[in-house]
Amino acid sequence: MTPPDLRQRLVEAAHEPGRRDELGRAATAWFGGEPTVEGWADFVDFFALEWVDRRGWTLLEQVADGPLTPLGWRWLTGVRSGVFVVDETDGPVAWCRDAASEDSLCIVVGEALAPRSVLRGRLLPDDQGRYHVSGDPDVFDPMGVVARLGLVREWLESPRRTLCERLAGLRRGFLRQRLQRQAFVAFFGSDQLLFPDALALEQHLNGFLEHLLFRHQPQALGGRTLAQQHTLDTGEQAVRVQVELGKTLTTAGSVGVVYDADEGIHFLPALDAFVSHLQGQSEHPDVVRSYLEDPGITALPFRRVGATERLAALLGVPDAPLAELLAELKPPAAALAPSVLPHFDG
């Protein structure tokens, strides 16, 4: 249950003209076809908090003022959907079980529900270990085990459950990437670095991992380190990790690292030679060709340099905008959100 002012902002942002296409794709996925007026409020909450756009952002993150708050982090990582059965109530608070997993939950339901009532919908965590109803859930009168199992089976076999679980994984991945990038920039002072060799890179990355796990205290985690959050979530102590680079980088001489806000971290062999050639400061055409031919290297390093004249000369074509020069060799990523791209298990 989002605060009224924030919820209104999210609703307004969801219906902005620039998001019309994204909203339509999300609605098709949520409703399994043509959207309907019934259930629209629940869908808008879903679009604001669970849907991931083509840059990996949720709507909540886009309208937030500044860094994600601890509550926003909990909403995006802890939202859960399913069928919940009421065991006991105390006014607007109900002690429930997830009917599929048997997890115990304390849910603020707004009005008293009789024991054995069933709630089917979405829940958002608060900062007190409780959950609040999001959107317009279905509430069923007290029912027996057999009838309840029918609702559970329907949920477990539904495309909507598959969608929600996939989106949860996407959100966690993108949120983790942004948190790590924040720590990277705080530690190194920049999101683009150059190291003289792989040994120096390994040493600096190991220092960064120590900072990332045991010293960095992101606002989204309420001042806890990642190690502390891991212990809180799992009851286990975080282990220290050592970086060991692969052969491609250990034989490359200098190594560049770029931690991009959208594309994540990139390790780029001989980045200094690549930049120097494109800027006309030295001659390293073979390095540029290797970047062009390597399918694992995106257009990111080319965009970072921005210069096109020497790239066009190397390609043997007239100078042109970078996107045009790279259209075939480095095609842009899909314009669609990862939420609607094909998904393959394994």
| CA pair distance 260, 154, nearest whole angstrom | 41
**Local confidence band at 335 (pLDDT 50, 70, 90 cut-offs):** low
| CA pair distance 263, 246, nearest whole angstrom | 21
129-151 pLDDT, tens digit each? 999 998 888 899 999 999 999 99
Q: Could you identify the residue written with the tokens 């270990």? A: 129
Nearest residue to 261 (alpha-carbon basis) of 181, 147, 164 = 181
Tell me, what's the pLDDT at 34? 74
* pLDDT of 2 higher than 60: no
9-43 pLDDT, tens digit each? 998 999 999 999 999 999 999 988 777 777 788 89
| CB burial string 319-328: b at 16+ within 10 A, e below | eeebeebbee
Burial of 339 (0-12, 13-18, 19+ CB in 10 A): buried
| CA pair distance 104, 125, nearest whole angstrom | 13
Helical H segments across the chain, by residue range? 4-14, 20-31, 40-49, 59-63, 70-78, 145-156, 159-188, 198-214, 226-234, 247-250, 271-278, 285-293, 300-305, 309-315, 322-325
**Local confidence band at 90 (pLDDT 50, 70, 90 cut-offs):** confident
**Local confidence band at 183 (pLDDT 50, 70, 90 cut-offs):** very high
CB 333 within 8 A of CB 304: no
Tell me, what's the pLDDT at 344? 42
Give the dihedral of Cα atoms 141, 144, 146, 149; nearest 10 deg: 50
Three-class secondary structure of residue 2 per DSSP: coil
CATH architecture of 79-154: Beta Barrel (2.40)
Mean pLDDT for all residues in the chain? 89
Q: How far is CA 82 from the centre of its chain?
A: 21
47-61 pLDDT, tens digit each? 999 999 988 999 999
CB 310 within 8 A of CB 278: yes
204-217 pLDDT, tens digit each? 999 999 999 999 99
Q: What is the DSSP string of 32-59?
A: TSS--STTHHHHHHHHHHT---TTS--H
| CA pair distance 117, 84, nearest whole angstrom | 8
| CA pair distance 124, 133, nearest whole angstrom | 6
Nearest residue to 302 (alpha-carbon basis) of 269, 333, 338, 278 = 278
274-326 pLDDT, tens digit each? 999 999 999 999 999 999 999 989 999 999 999 999 999 999 999 999 999 99
Q: What backbone phi and psi angles, to 5 degrees, belong to 308?
A: -120, -20
Three-class secondary structure of residue 230 per DSSP: helix
**What average pLDDT score do residues 169-186 get?**
94
